[in-house]
Amino acid sequence: MSTTAHPEGWVFKPFPKTVSRYQSKGGKLKTSEYEQSGALPVVDQGQSLVIGYCSADSRKFQGPHPIIVFGDHTRNVKLVDFPFAVGADGVVLLGPADREKLDIKFLYYWLKYVPLHNLGYSRHFKLLKEEKISFPNDIDEQRRIVARIEELTRRAEEARKLRQEAVAQIATQFFHIRRKIYQSLLSEFPTKSLRKCGKVIGGGTPSKQRADYWDGDIPWVSAKDMKAFFLTDSGLKITKRGLSESSAKLIPENSVLFVVRGSILYRYVPIAVNSMPCTINQDLKAIIPAKGINAIYLAHMLWAANDILLGMVEEAGNTAGKLPTPSWSELDIPIPDETKQESVVKELTALQEKLLELESLQAETAQELEQFQTALLAKAFRGEL
């Protein structure tokens, strides 16, 4: 933004002469002082608007409202129009030096737009002080531009929300259809306990003290890798020596992996089919399906019974949960003939692919919205709105 060119009717002024910095008489709270609830929201330089709460009214920011919170380390920008306490180090409080000449929302959007070089966790306010801000001399024109920015952003956000709702609707539909199929199969076909559906394999971890055990080419799967139905890779890998000299075991592809320990178990039980041979850590179990049992079918049945598995989860200390072997191993799995299993897989795969397509479109929409907002602000500050 530091350029001498600006639209007709706009002024071009140094940032320090246009923007005032405010201090909070209540000081800045340390992160250890944040509370789960309280009368005052706490705003810091993090991504979230509100990071915690404070009960002491003496910590309230007493300056003008609305006020802009700029993250000196993070470059995050927030417009705060409610009573709040200032969070930990790195918060810079900003507002127009003259609110009758510069609209605070215009300043807010300018701060979101201005391209500051990323200095990592160093401080960035020093870069702002070197900038020059261009804005219409007429404050009503500033407010018109702000209104236009907000209207166009609202429309784009509505489009994103509609696509997000479509994803949620299909996901809910998929859950109920899969659950209904599981219940129907239970009543129509013989069942086996999960432990009898194949060979159960536990996990193992090579010593982290041995560098020659790690950074190999054998996937070593942990709970954080279990984010997709088909598992194609892992964050960490071990070597052949790490495999042979530890309790880790090589699991053939097309096995069924599921998490038995971790905080994620308080939300759901992750289940995946590995598309490559792999090893797992102690927080997972693997089942190599017995003859006549389709791995993808078995994984779908476990997802269909996820609420049953969730009901088996117990506390395991700290924030972790555990899925005890005596509980999950007795889960009933319907076992129709292989032709029926393939038919079920085909039906559920079609729905699954539709859901994945919508999720991909949703991710693209979110990215497009971010790009749109960047382009919109660039247009606004060129005087083209």
Q: Can you spell out the DSSP letters for 142-172?
A: HHHHHHHHHHHHHHHHHHHHHHHHHHHHHHH
Predicted local distance difference test score (pLDDT) of residue 375: 85
Residues 6+ apart with CB under 8 A from 356: none
- Calculate mean pLDDT across residues 278-295: 98
- Strands 85-86, 40-43: pairing is parallel
- Mean pLDDT score, 81-99: 94
Residue range 188-195: mean pLDDT, rounded: 97
Whether residue 1 is predicted with pLDDT greater than 60 in this model: the reply is: no
Half-sphere exposure for 306 (CA within 13 Å, toward CB): 19
pLDDT (average), residues 197-209? 97
pLDDT at residue number 373:
79
Q: 315 pLDDT exceeds 70? A: yes
pLDDT of 5 reads: 62
Mean pLDDT (whole number) for 349-354? 88
Q: According to the model, what pLDDT value does residue 378 have?
A: 85
Q: Are 116 and 1 in contact (CB under 8 A)?
A: no
Residue 191, pLDDT > 90, answer yes
Give me the pLDDT at residue 2, please. Answer: 44
Q: Which of 117-131, 155-169, 221-235, 237-251 has the lowest mean pLDDT?
A: 155-169
Question: Over 50: is that where the pLDDT of 233 sits?
Answer: yes
Alpha-carbon torsion (235, 240, 245, 246), positive or negative: positive
Asked if the model's pLDDT at residue 31 lies above 90, the reply is: no
| Alpha carbons 256 and 277: distance in angstroms, whole number | 11
